[in-house]
A and B are shown apart, each in its own frame.
Chain A
Amino acid sequence: MTMESTLPAQTKPHGDPVLSMRGISKSFGAVQALSGVELDIYAGEVVAIVGDNGAGKSTLVKILAGVHPPDAGTITYQDEVVTIPSPAASRTLGIATVFQDLALCDNLDVVSNLFLGREIGNFALDESEMEERSWNLLRQLSAKIPSVRLAVASLSGGQRQTVAIARSLIGEPAVVILDEPTAALGVAQTAEVLNLIERLRERGLGVVLISHNMADVQAVADRVVVLRLGRNNGEFLVSDVSYEEIIAAITGATDNVVTRRAAAVGLEREEEGTK
């Protein structure tokens, strides 16, 4: 159902990307984790980054989150070249990252977690204001959380993921990065989180989805960027790529110049055709 509704938008989004990375390289000691990686993030689009273990997905995300600075390459954010030296700088730019471990305080309730570090009121917390805003936010995301005064420890995995994602939106970011949001979730909870990702796109955010799960990627992503051994290994529109093709790109079964160029040219042709 999600596929149907998003099909017309499957051409590359118009306009400039919110954020683009060009020629990003990063090495850890003797290991070249990323070399010359390119990535564009558009507003109102879900781009999935897929790849095998060690492909460099996490490193790429950590560069955006300000955890590691890149060795080479440029990051352009809203038409300006920027550097992201720290997690705080990343947040200030408008990039919100939801890490796999969620980083929630189990002993605090949902409202406290949503506003952690951004509380309204310094010497007299405005609890009602925060609670109202929490409800508004959660309702906009169609999140199913019975009470925002429950401690986070008592929520299910999907609800916790929801709280973590909702928290990233408190700072009104332009780009949201989700690292394996469905990795530890059951079927129903996964569906809940995927719905949430749809909501994020509807809000006009650029969403980066890191995932191992091809079913999830095909369900919500508009575009798939494949990394393999620290390099770009193909970029596909979800609408016109098969599961096998993505897997082939991930595993490197098509990893030679000819097929890569063929894929790229084919892609561009199709785009022009649909325009």
Chain B
Amino acid sequence: MTTQVTGDSTVAADLQDERLIRSSGLGGSMRAFVSRVRNGDLGSLPVVVGLVVIWVIFQALNSDFLSSNNLVNLTLQCAATGTIAIGVVLVLLLAQIDLSVGSVSGLAAAILGVGLTRYGWPLSVTIAVALGAGIAIGLLYAFLFVRFGVPSFVITLAGLLAFLGLQLWILGPNGSINIPFESWAVQFAQQMFLPPIAAYLLAVVAGVGLGLSGYLNARQRRKHGLSSTSLVETLIKSILLIVILAGAAWYLNTDRGVGASFLLFVAIVVVMNYALTRTKWGRSVYAVGGNVEAARRAGIRVNQIYISVFALSSLFAVLGGLLAAARLTSASLSSGGGDTNLNAIAAAVIGGTSLFGGRGSAYSALLGILVIQSISNGLTLLSLGSPERYMITGAVLLLAVIIDSLSRRSRATHGRA
């Protein structure tokens, strides 16, 4: 290959085009952010703003809302449905849908209850059986989708009914099983909190991790002659993260602390975010969601991507169902019923994952579920029940989709995808 050196070598390879609006340094990245938002590349800004607005309103209506006690409750409430929402995010990224996550989570609850009490299985075996069932369900969906080309909407709608039936059948005529309070699962979901020191340590580890990966990335980019973020910027970001996380940990620690189940949920979000953004598999997921035909012609094994994503989605639904059952110490006919399904899907969409595929991130599960549970939690504090909760959550979901559509239109006119 002939190497052609064009442009002056003092400028990084990716900044040589004179049409490019350069933004370097700290001020530059702030300006770039503002211009991005103006052009409709909102990212997670609307949902963060929305969350702040919701919190301010509820705090004004009831001064207990932002108390550390209530916020700890909020985090515990988020874990189960949030975990389910991660799976929904994955499926939505492929421009598919999984309507059965609620039923599958209910099925998991039933397996947990029956396994522990009626059959007396050890907890580990019960959990393994439930997770195995989740993977099997996902593989079945993927098989039907890949082999027969049935729309995922229909497959999972059938699954919604079928697995609800299976859940009722497993639970038997009584229809409700209490999970022993001493069980480790219940302890984990309800009573287990990080020791304060561990929480602070984790905040520092997260911050240092961010800084280190930023530094290594910048060094790598410089080595390849590309522009890179400055050390100061990386440092500021990393310190900011430590301060925010440690602050949150401190506030939660004034009550019970950071719940283990919430931590598990956040850890899964972080891991899935890495998998989606930094691995070949994740890149393929976005490619399939963006343009299946292009992905296929590029040599991506599209079917394997569908299979892995459907399996993961059902797996996370099962995990969420287990967390929910453990927190409520019971598996019943209503486990995973009611609004679990729609809350999980709404969380993914409110968090900024597009319904049209190829756009979104694992963090949208976290942000979305915080919004939904804040509304639900706040309304409960105001002694308002399901009617108001459904209506308000519905309105927020609609608002989120409208923002998504508007920002997409704006992105199109401003030349961003």
Contacts and interface: CB of A to CB of B under 8 A. Distances in A.
A89 to B, nearest CB: 12
Find the residue from B289, B290, B295 having the highest chain A CB count within 10 A.
Answer: B290
Find the residue from A107, A146, A149, A153 having the highest chain B CB count within 10 A.
Answer: A107
A147 B14 contact: yes
Contact of B13 (A127, A132, A145): A132
A258 interface: no
A124 B1 contact: no
Interface in B278-319: 278-280, 283-284, 286-287, 289-291, 293-295, 297-300
A140 B295 contact: no
A112 B2 contact: no
Q: Per DSSP, are chain A's interface residues mostly helix, strand or loop, or mixed?
A: loop
B209 to A, nearest CB: 14
Contact of A147 (B20, B225, B286, B299): B20
Interface stretch (A18-26, A113-121, A264-272): A113-121
Contacts of A148: 14
A131 B299 contact: no
Interface stretch (A28-36, A98-106, A223-231): A98-106
B147 interface: no
B4 A139 contact: yes
Nearest to B289: A107
A116 B287 contact: yes
Contacts of B223: 128
Interface residues of B, number: 40
Contacts of A144: 17
Interface in B118-138: none
Contact of A151 (B14, B225, B416): B416
Interface in B341-366: 358-359
Contact of A125 (B226, B279, B412): B279
A144 B16 CA distance: 11
Contact of B300 (A107, A117, A145): A117
B197 interface: no
Contact of A105 (B2, B4, B13, B290): B290
Interface in A132-164: 132, 135-136, 139-140, 144-154
Contact of B280 (A87, A108, A121, A152): A121
A52 B172 CA distance: 71
Nearest to A137: B1
A132 B225 contact: yes
A117 to B, nearest CB: 4
A147 B21 CA distance: 10
Contact of B283 (A99, A119, A151, A153): A119
A126 B284 CA distance: 15
Nearest to B277: A125
A91 interface: yes
B298 A116 contact: yes
Contacts of B286: 105, 107-108, 112
A214 interface: no
Interface string B358-394: 1100000000000000000000000000000000000
Nearest to B291: A105
Find the residue from A102, A104, A122, A128 having the highest chain B CB count within 10 A.
Answer: A128
Given A88-B299, A117-B300, A136-B3, A128 B224 contact: yes
Contacts of A102: 294
B415 interface: yes
A108 B287 contact: yes
A132 B224 contact: yes
Contacts of B224: 128-129, 131-132
Contacts of B358: 105-108
A153 B417 contact: yes
Contact of A131 (B3, B6, B14, B416): B14
Given A107-B417, A139-B6, A146-B20, A116 B13 contact: no
B118 to A, nearest CB: 42
Find the residue from B278, B358, B359, B417 having the highest chain A CB count within 10 A.
Answer: B417
A122 B279 contact: yes
B35 interface: no
A133 B300 CA distance: 21
B12 to A, nearest CB: 10
A104 B1 CA distance: 25
Interface in A65-121: 87-88, 91, 99, 101-108, 112, 116-119, 121
Interface of A: 87-88, 91, 99, 101-108, 112, 116-119, 121-129, 131-132, 135-136, 139-140, 144-154
Given A116-B295, A135-B14, 17 more contacts: A104-B294, A106-B291, A107-B286, A107-B289, A108-B290, A108-B358, A123-B279, A125-B279, A127-B217, A128-B221, A128-B224, A129-B224, A131-B221, A131-B224, A146-B20, A151-B417, A152-B417
